[in-house]
Structure 1
Amino acid sequence: MTTHGKVFRKLGFWTIGAIYFLILVGGIVRATGSGMGCPDWPRCFGSWVPPTDISQLPSNYKEIYGEKLKGEIEFNAVKTWIEYVNRLIGVLIGILVFGTFVSSFVSFRKKDKTIVLLSLLATILVAFEGWLGSKVVSSELHPVMITLHMILSVIIVMILLYAVARSYNYVVKIEDIADKSSLSFLVSAAIFLTTGQVLLGTQVREVVDKVAASMGEAMRTEWVANLGGKFQMHALFSMVIVLINLVIYYKIKKSISEKGILTRFTNWLVIVVGIELVSGLTLAYLGFPNFMQPVHLTLGVLAIGIQFVIFLFLNKERVFRSIAS
């Protein structure tokens, strides 16, 4: 394992972890209603460092920044800084992704150009993600723009996961499994279903926002009874997803005698899916506590990432075939 290869893998892990953290922070922004805490972009209330008190704003700040919000803007320092921290983390991730690309170029430009190209693609997409973030603000948090913003984050994670997993193929022995075809099909189905579940969850979140606005905080425990078919479908699919991941866990455990990296990821998958189920039950039966909503979303996206890595390792001969020239 080369020194630079180690640097790439470590930096790749930190970058992927940072993106997951950004997804969590993005969920916090949504759950706390802080999306328009900074009504302009890239600055916040016209400054690179946002105000901490209303006295730091001009007296007519509502006229200046409230036009596109139809005048409905009230300065809230907590919401402003939640959104601003979200943006700062986005900038940090941009730096990390670029650093990952540089490291990939140093380590793999001769050995595996695919890793370099994937890292470059991730860098380009992160820049596009920053631009898309500005459109989320200018669209006044349109639900479609928010969903696209999140989907692009997941795509960037998948690209980096592939690049880092591919680099491990050179230095770590991945367990062999006899019945790869059926397992690959199951894992592919799990990825498809979990992705659909996350997207459906974003729609349920929109329904929750509408129900919350109409019923108010005083009736929070009654919200779930008024969420309708999308919520019921989301709940039903959660049982299907738990079941298919348990089958994957059982079949991999049964097929492998010697524990290795694939076994570890399978263990983590069951743990994450289990915690995800608990967080969903907490939301449904405890009145949708704000702190649990971003956790629930992040765990769902994390499960997709782990499933994707398991799929890559199951098909290592095909997906990790080097095309370096």
Structure 2
Amino acid sequence: MKLPTDHPHPLVRRLFSFWAPTETSMRGWAMASVVVNAGITVTGAGVRVTGSGLGCPTWPRCTPDSFVPVAHPEVSPLNMAVEFGNRLLTFLVLAVGVACVLSALRMRPRRRSLVLLAWLQPVGIVAQALWGGLVVSTMLNPFTVGAHFLISSGLIAACWMLYARAGEGDGPARRVTHRDIRRLGHALLAAVFVLLVAGVVVSGTGPHSGDAMASRFDLDIEVVARFHADIAYVVVGLTFALAFALHVNNAPRPARRAALALFAVELAQGVIGYIQYFLAVPAMLVLLHVLGSTLVWIAALRVATSLRTRAPEAASAGPSPTAAHAVA
């Protein structure tokens, strides 16, 4: 019987590569998971800025008597379509997560580190879906909405770690530069996460609540926006310091490139942030800002993983039978 992994079309072979995984295909599925989790984070923001947060006013059904959108006198068809479309994307994210799990389970020799990281994806996606139900039941409370975004950030981190670890061995982590520079990289990653949290507070205080009935944080938007900007200055300063230290110490090229890429993304994100502030936070710029914050997070994760490496697997382990089958 001919397997999909033997199909003559390369796209079909890639789609079913989880059945005969190689290191390259494992990393490919992990990167795909990074992309789809980042994508659904941005589309979730699109639900909010279009006022479609309660387009499907119940959960798990879209309406009290239907899992799919039906005409409802109190809900705009457009808002319902936007919210339902975002819910459907969850199944795509879950499918990619399951492909990562199957790839990790079928790798030979099986690597426990990859299996554990892969399982975080479907488990986290299910938890995220359940939390989405809480967001709806609390009428888009800014706390639950903000936590929804931060959970997505955690899932992206798990996906990135799977991508990084799939290209390494399971030996002890070894730093590729001075110990204090690596510590600076860890401090930078922590600062970026604090920046994300501050951004969530700004979003929960600002005008785009997702629905007219949604509550807001009782805070001064000017104060929280300036606090968010102050943290951004700290992050940019730490990034510049890290990039300079890596250059002076002639660190490996991947680490230097990762730091410079993060610095560039931060500058672009800062420009978007200031423009949206002075233009009274238009919806399209909010979407770009959420995309930018997601890219900053991914770039910061890339910096952190570029500052260490792990020894390859022992040669005695032998090649993966499934990898040999895929090559054949």
Distance 1:237 1:263, change over 3 A: same
How many residues matched? 285
Q: Equivalent residue for 2:181? A: 183
Query: Could you tell me how far 1:120 is from its partner in structure 2?
Result: 1.1
Q: 1:203 aligns with which of 180, 184, 201?
A: 201
Alignment of 1:251-266 (within 5 A): 251-256=245-250, 259=253, 261-266=254-259
Q: Does 1:159 align with 2:158?
A: yes
Inter-partner Cα distance in structure 2 for 1:175 and 1:263: 17
Q: Does 1:248 align with 2:256?
A: no
Q: Equivalent residue for 2:286? A: 293
SS of residue paired to 2:53: coil
Bigger mean CA offset, 142-151 vs 294-303: 294-303
Alignment of 1:4-153 (within 5 A): 4-45=22-63, 46-51=65-70, 57=71, 61=72, 74-107=74-107, 110-153=109-152
Amino acid of the residue matched to residue 17 of structure 1? V
Alignment of 1:300-315 (within 5 A): 300-315=293-308
SS of residue paired to 1:316: strand
Inter-partner Cα distance in structure 1 for 2:250 and 2:60: 51
Inter-partner Cα distance in structure 2 for 1:252 and 1:38: 49
Amino acid of the residue matched to residue 228 of structure 2? H
SS of residue paired to 1:8: helix
Q: Equivalent residue for 1:68? A: none
Query: Could you tell me how far 1:48 is from its partner in structure 2?
Result: 3.8
Alignment of 1:199-278 (within 5 A): 199-209=197-207, 227-256=221-250, 259=253, 261-278=254-271
Inter-partner Cα distance in structure 2 for 1:144 and 1:3: 40
Bigger mean CA offset, 248-257 vs 120-129: 248-257
Distance 1:266 1:93, change over 3 A: same
Inter-partner Cα distance in structure 2 for 1:118 and 1:77: 39
Inter-partner Cα distance in structure 1 for 2:81 and 2:208: 25
8 Å contact from structure 2 (residues 143, 204) kept in 1: no
Amino acid of the residue matched to residue 18 of structure 1? V
Inter-partner Cα distance in structure 2 for 1:295 and 1:175: 37
SS of residue paired to 1:209: coil
Distance 1:107 1:234, change over 3 A: same
Inter-partner Cα distance in structure 1 for 2:60 and 2:251: 53
Amino acid of the residue matched to residue 130 of structure 1? A
Inter-partner Cα distance in structure 1 for 2:269 and 2:303: 18
Inter-partner Cα distance in structure 2 for 1:50 and 1:301: 30
Query: Could you tell me how far 1:315 is from its partner in structure 2?
Result: 2.7
Q: Equivalent residue for 1:220? A: none
Query: Could you tell me how far 1:234 is from its partner in structure 2?
Result: 1.2
Query: Could you tell me how far 1:111 is from its partner in structure 2?
Result: 4.5
Query: Could you tell me how far 1:252 is from its partner in structure 2?
Result: 2.1
Structure with greater helix percent: 1
TM-score by length of 2: 0.78
Distance 1:47 1:240, change over 3 A: same
Inter-partner Cα distance in structure 2 for 1:208 and 1:125: 28
Inter-partner Cα distance in structure 2 for 1:249 and 1:4: 33
Inter-partner Cα distance in structure 1 for 2:222 and 2:134: 30
SS of residue paired to 2:100: helix
Query: Could you tell me how far 1:244 is from its partner in structure 2?
Result: 1.2
Query: Could you tell me how far 1:257 is from its partner in structure 2?
Result: 6.6
Amino acid of the residue matched to residue 199 of structure 1? V
Query: Could you tell me how far 1:277 is from its partner in structure 2?
Result: 0.7
Amino acid of the residue matched to residue 298 of structure 1? L
SS of residue paired to 1:291: helix
Query: Could you tell me how far 1:170 is from its partner in structure 2?
Result: 4.5
Inter-partner Cα distance in structure 2 for 1:196 and 1:178: 25
Distance 1:11 1:317, change over 3 A: closer
**Mind listing any 5+ residue stretches in structure 1 that lack a counterpart?**
52-56, 63-73, 215-225
Query: Could you tell me how far 1:208 is from its partner in structure 2?
Result: 1.6
Query: Could you tell me how far 1:321 is from its partner in structure 2?
Result: 9.4
Inter-partner Cα distance in structure 1 for 2:51 and 2:240: 36
Superposed CA RMSD in Å reads 3.0
Alignment deviations for residues 260-290 of structure 1 (CA, whole Å, 9 cap, x no partner): x334423321221121111111111122111
* Identity in percent: 20
